[in-house]
Structure 1
Amino acid sequence: MTDWDPKPEQVTGDARLVGDTEPVGLGDTEDVFVHGDAVGGDLHVADGEYVFTDVPTESEGVTPPTVDRAVTGEEDGYVEDVADDVVLRGVEDVFVHHDGANALRAGGAEQVYHDGDAQPTKLPQSYEVTLSGWNHTREVRDPRDGVAILGATNELTVRDLAHDATVYVVGWGNEVHLEGRDAEASVFFVGRDNTVHVGPYLSATAAAESGFDNEIDRAPIPASAVIQTSKEEAHADATFGRHKLTWQEPVDDEQWCPNCGSEADAVIRRRQRDALFLFGVPIRTYDDGGESFECEHCTRHLGEVSLTESERRDALR
């Protein structure tokens, strides 16, 4: 057990810091999750393993202050609302939300991950939906600004997304499912092993990754979205007489479109036939019409849902 002075308060389960106005310590927990606007002073990692942070580190050699109160727990720790400094000792991984502290002093951490290349255009604290904790599930429809997760093994499903949005993920093992059309998601990862699943008619880019093994997984556009008329539909009304038919069929073994040259999810073959039909069976063919190809990038049927090459390949490894 971590040696604290004063003697720590031991809690069962998760340890939460809420309402402290003087320096406070938190220790002997597994992971620690620091909410946005949680620490009015500085956050000191005096002893820890990995730190994943959206707050840049400063003055790593600064000595942690003496705390007035210390709390230890058996499971995870959550820092939610402290007006002064917070000191972490004997913890494992630490995940720090954007604006989680006035400054982060992480000299006692084994490894710090911070990607400062991009910041969310709107503070995650103001997003319409925030899911916090462990192993929670929630569903929301078309948020206008953004969604955020803080914790571990949570699952958030966003349906009918029709507006550009920010997805902000803090922690580990979380999953976000995005479904909708004609919208773009900017994804910020603070942690590890998180996945954002993106539907075929949406695009997503990883704006920043303060961590590792996070991934954007985009579903392919189905061939059915490019096909206007199947072979069965085209032949359904060709019972008697001469008919000129046009239909499309998927090409499962093509990853590059023979027509436009793009790497594609949904390559289809367009077929034409001019024939004399009896009971729906061609008994004399005048022109077999050959074949042509198209995909989600070059078809005029699908509309503007194709992605750029950089968007298609934008997945964090």
Structure 2
Amino acid sequence: MNDWTVDPERVSGDVRLDGYAGTVGLSETADVYVHGGAVTGELIVDDAEYVYTDVPAEGGGPPGERTVDTAVAGEEDGYVRDVDGDLVVRNVEDVFVADAGAATLSAPGAERVFHDDEATPTKPPDDYEVSVAGWEQTETARDPRDGVAVLGARNEVTIEKAAHDITVYVVGWGNEVTVEGSDADVTTFFVGRDNRVSVGPYLEATTAADSGTDNELHREPIPPEALIQTAESEAKSGLLFGRHRLTWQAPTDEEWCQNCGADADAVIVRRQSDAFYLFGVPVWTFDEGGAAYECEQCSTHVGRVSLSESERREALR
């Protein structure tokens, strides 16, 4: 039910506030997503379940009648991109506010407000090279130079061959971002719930701020093959006749490194042998050698993580 001072404009489907001015009232939608820099004045959340925000929530008066110039009511989600003035939101489900989404925010009617002021992005999320907004959108991009912004719900974004440090900024719920590449740092900001960012094993990843719940940053483990310089089959390849001292490495199922004592994703064993071979078959073994263990944290060799020359040419096409 609306308590606006003007009759609301009713919109079927999603409500998109873009190009509105004055004091605007938004009501009766499901979730509301506020883009970065969308509201020049105050954002007032009179009645919502939860508010997830990168804008600090200030105090405000109790919910009640609000004088608005324009009122809009919808049936599904609300997307706020451009309101030159104040915005009053009521009778909605959850509200998600991106960085700089409003000059000030008050949420007197919200059941709970989630805000993490640990860090903020260095630029508005809508200015990133890859930007996705909406419901169940899918996008694939290669090696963006600055960042990835996702706003909405159940969107899927894949970043291939990332080789530059990037920011991943996720606003909403149920979104998934996958980043593959090497030699780059991925800095993640979450505003919302049940979002997941997955990065490949050769990328560094950190969560700078998490304004929400049940968000996950997952880094794929380094595969054991990345630590192996010479496999057993390679070491023994081409042997015909004579005595040979061989060294090779093999993966193990160990989760604890006997060399450095660390819990590790990839543990390999280094083996040596000194044997006499006849047509590739060891007929006499002088010394089977020992077993030396190493992991990704203590190994002096981690497989190539930079791009090859052919990969660099492909990336520049």
Q: Name the TM-score, length of structure 1 as normaliser.
A: 0.92
* Secondary structure of 1:292 counterpart: strand
Give the Cα–Cα distance (whole angstroms) in 1 for the partners of residues 287 and 166 of structure 2.
Answer: 51
- Extract structure 1 runs of 4+ deviating beyond 2 A: 1-5, 62-65, 121-126
Shift of the 101–62 alpha-carbon distance from structure 1 to 2, 3 Å rule, reads: farther
Aligned equivalent of 1:144: 145
Q: Does structure 2 conserve the Cα–Cα contact (< 8 Å) formed by 1:23 and 1:65?
A: no
Shift of the 123–80 alpha-carbon distance from structure 1 to 2, 3 Å rule, reads: closer
Aligned equivalent of 1:311: none
Matched letter for residue 19 of structure 2 = G
> Which ranges of structure 2 fall in alignment gaps of 5 or more residues?
306-317
Q: Does structure 2 conserve the Cα–Cα contact (< 8 Å) formed by 1:62 and 1:105?
A: no
Give 1:264 deviation, angstroms.
1.2
Give the Cα–Cα distance (whole angstroms) in 2 for the partners of residues 41 and 122 of structure 1.
Answer: 19
Aligned equivalent of 2:199: 198
Give the Cα–Cα distance (whole angstroms) in 2 for the partners of residues 34 and 122 of structure 1.
Answer: 16
Q: What do the CA deviations read for 1:198-230 (whole angstroms, capped 9, x no partner)?
A: 110111111111111001111100001011111
> 1:241-280 to 2 correspondence within 5 Å?
241-252=242-253, 254-280=254-280
Q: Does structure 1 conserve the Cα–Cα contact (< 8 Å) formed by 2:4 and 2:67?
A: no
Q: Does structure 2 conserve the Cα–Cα contact (< 8 Å) formed by 1:257 and 1:263?
A: yes
Q: Name the TM-score, length of structure 2 as normaliser.
A: 0.92
Q: How many residues align?
A: 304
Aligned equivalent of 2:8: 8
Aligned equivalent of 2:310: none
Q: What do the CA deviations read for 1:21-75 (whole angstroms, capped 9, x no partner)?
A: 1111111111000011111111111111100000111222276741122111111
1:224 aligned to 2:225?
yes
> 1:37-52 to 2 correspondence within 5 Å?
37-52=37-52
Matched letter for residue 145 of structure 1 = D
Give the Cα–Cα distance (whole angstroms) in 2 for the partners of residues 3 and 123 of structure 1.
Answer: 33
Q: Does structure 1 conserve the Cα–Cα contact (< 8 Å) formed by 2:139 and 2:158?
A: yes
Aligned equivalent of 1:174: 175
Aligned equivalent of 1:87: 88
Give the Cα–Cα distance (whole angstroms) in 1 for the partners of residues 23 and 210 of structure 2.
Answer: 30
Q: What do the CA deviations read for 1:218-260 (whole angstroms, capped 9, x no partner)?
A: 11000010111111111221232222111111111x2121112
Give the Cα–Cα distance (whole angstroms) in 2 for the partners of residues 95 and 33 of structure 1.
Answer: 5
Aligned equivalent of 1:158: 159
Aligned equivalent of 1:108: 109
Cα RMSD after superposing both structures: 1.6
- Counting aligned pairs with the same residue, the percent is 61
Give the Cα–Cα distance (whole angstroms) in 1 for the partners of residues 124 and 200 of structure 2.
Answer: 25
